[in-house]
Amino acid sequence: MAKPVVAIVGRPNVGKSTIFNRIAGDRISIVEDTPGVTRDRIYANSEWLGQQFSLIDTGGIDIDDAPFIKQITEQAEIAIDEADVIIYLVSIKEGVTDADEHVAQILYRSDKPVVLGVNKVDNPELRSEIYDFYSLGFGDPYPLSGSHGLGLGDLLDAVVKNFPEKSGEDEPGTIRFSLIGRPNVGKSSIVNALLGEDRVIVSDVAGTTRDAIDTKFTDEDGDRFVMVDTAGIRKKGKVYENTERYSVMRALKAIDNSDVALFVINGEEGIREQDKRVAGYAHEAGKAIIIVVNKWDLVKKDNHTMQEFEAYIRDQFVYLAYAPIIFVSAKTTQRLEQLPALIKKVNTNHTRRIQSSVLNDVIMDAIAMNSTPSDNGKRLRVYYATQVAIQPPTFVVFVNDPDMMHFSYERFLENQIRNAFDFTGTPIHMIERRRK
């Protein structure tokens, strides 16, 4: 199920990104050698009192060249659209400013719960001044110091209290997938074409599909799917929709809430930096991935075009070697009918469990074929391996010395596992553990 979303809003300089980083901590593990993963974060996952949620720093979504008041207006609207709970941040240093009043006016218009944080309360003497902020009309102000990490517990208690009741779980067997990719690659066209097909039955009540955040449907075999964030894919005509940081944030959120990510590329334009960011995130998050090359109707083709485009993608996304590539056209619907089956296939692989005995036969054969690395007369010993998780399939390998498992040897073992079992479309995680 979708996680609750918390957005931080407020005028510039009140400390939004400082508070964001305090709450998010280091939770997003960023693998050093994954290209294209952004470091200046506006979106992260966090947890408080065992409750997971996503966190958005709206201050990081700037609308190019827009005047100050327009920026904070748009940011507040993003928070209202995206969040279940809004943290409205002000600063004790300046007191209540005109810009604070302006943001408050926008937030009044929504019925989203707002928790008011007063930042830069660095020492106890300042605490008496927080009463001024009752005038904003959002109830008790929570004193914070982003610099010193103070007050966050009480603030988060209030945030978590306002989370919506859990809505129903998906029916068993439902596959959640998302379409991710830059604006204009054709995501909404694919959605419309897919849902418009006779063999697909959309289970939402007629007329509400457009507004639904997620869209449920069954394919011709009766298998159930949830298309995550359909509302975000279909445009509402807001100014911020085409800004890069907004669409990246939206994609990251959709990825978090799905099992399978359809990474849509514009076949006519090729790959851009922004494509790499979202694909890198999906990979790191361990999601099953399908690369969908759209607008294939616009590409001048000869006998080699598809192969050449595939080679180009493989070169640009070395770490996505496991992801199948499908060439489609939302316009002519070419090959779109193959998508549900492909989603099911990668989902099966993403949830595949391998029996330990079979797995160890493969590992031992691999070691016999290509002996383990050695260093200074000491050799890596692999005792046994076992699968500890699915989504993505995660294997623990027990060894004498984890430091001796070089990247290249781990990659070799992964490839042997992939040769023996079908893990198309899913990353595999390998963890080495010391066993004496």
Residues comprising the binding site?
10-17, 57-61, 119-122, 181-188, 229-233, 294-297
Binding-site residue total for ligand GDP (CB under 6 A)? 31
**Which CB sits closer to ligand GDP, 62 or 432?**
62
Question: Alpha helix locations (H) across 351-435?
Answer: 356-369, 407-420
Does residue 141 touch ligand GDP according to CB under 6 A? Answer: no
Does residue 428 touch ligand GDP according to CB under 6 A? Answer: no
Site for ligand GDP in 333-392 (CB under 6 A): none
The sign one gets for the Cα dihedral 18, 23, 26, 30 is negative
Nearest to 56 by CA among 231, 278, 251: 251
Binding residue for ligand GDP, selected from 5, 7, 14, 103, defined by CB under 6 A: 14
Does residue 295 touch ligand GDP according to CB under 6 A? Answer: yes
Binding residue for ligand GDP, selected from 258, 329, 347, 372, defined by CB under 6 A: 329
Task: Work out the number of other CB atoms within 10 angstroms of the CB of residue 290.
Answer: 22
Binding residue for ligand GDP, selected from 34, 162, 174, 188, defined by CB under 6 A: 188
Return binding residues for GTP.
Answer: 10-17, 57-61, 119-122, 181-188, 229-233, 294-297
What is the edge-to-edge ordering of all strands in the sheet holding 382-389? 382-389, 394-399, 429-434
Q: Compose the 298-327 pattern: x for residues touching ligand GDP by CB under 6 A, - for all others.
A: x-----------------------------
Does residue 245 touch ligand GDP according to CB under 6 A? Answer: no
Does residue 294 touch ligand GDP according to CB under 6 A? Answer: yes
Question: How is residue 153 written in tokens?
Answer: 């517990």
**Euclidean distance between the first and the last CA atom of the chain, given in angstroms as a whole number:** 41
Nearest to 181 by CA among 284, 80, 86, 250: 250
Does residue 13 touch ligand GDP according to CB under 6 A? Answer: yes
> Using an 8 Å Cβ cutoff, are 416 and 363 in contact?
yes
Nearest to 260 by CA among 167, 191, 339: 339
Query: Coil, strand or helix: which one is 224?
Result: strand
Nearest distance, CB of residue 152 and ligand GDP, angstroms = 11
Strands 114-119 and 142-143: parallel
Considering only 80-88, 152-160, 328-336, 366-374, which stretch makes contact with ligand GDP by CB under 6 A?
Answer: 328-336
Q: How far apart are CA 360 and CA 350, in angstroms?
A: 20
- In one-letter notation, the amino acid at residue 280 is G
Q: Which residue has the tokens 């469990």?
A: 353
**Which CB sits closer to ligand GDP, 112 or 331?**
331
Does residue 15 touch ligand GDP according to CB under 6 A? Answer: yes
Considering only 5-13, 284-292, 339-347, 354-362, which stretch makes contact with ligand GDP by CB under 6 A?
Answer: 5-13
**Which CB sits closer to ligand GDP, 21 or 360?**
21
Task: Work out the number of other CB atoms within 10 angstroms of the CB of residue 282.
Answer: 27
Binding residue for ligand GDP, selected from 6, 7, 9, 18, defined by CB under 6 A: 18
Task: Work out the number of other CB atoms within 10 angstroms of the CB of residue 87.
Answer: 29
Does residue 272 touch ligand GDP according to CB under 6 A? Answer: no
Does residue 119 touch ligand GDP according to CB under 6 A? Answer: yes
Binding residue for ligand GDP, selected from 185, 226, 292, 313, defined by CB under 6 A: 185
Nearest to 259 by CA among 214, 295, 293, 314: 214
> Using an 8 Å Cβ cutoff, are 88 and 103 in contact?
yes
Query: Coil, strand or helix: which one is 102?
Result: helix
Site for ligand GDP in 164-183 (CB under 6 A): 181, 183
Interacting residue ranges for ligand GDP, rule: CB under 6 A: 10, 12-18, 59, 119-120, 122, 145-147, 181, 183-189, 233, 294-295, 297-298, 329-331
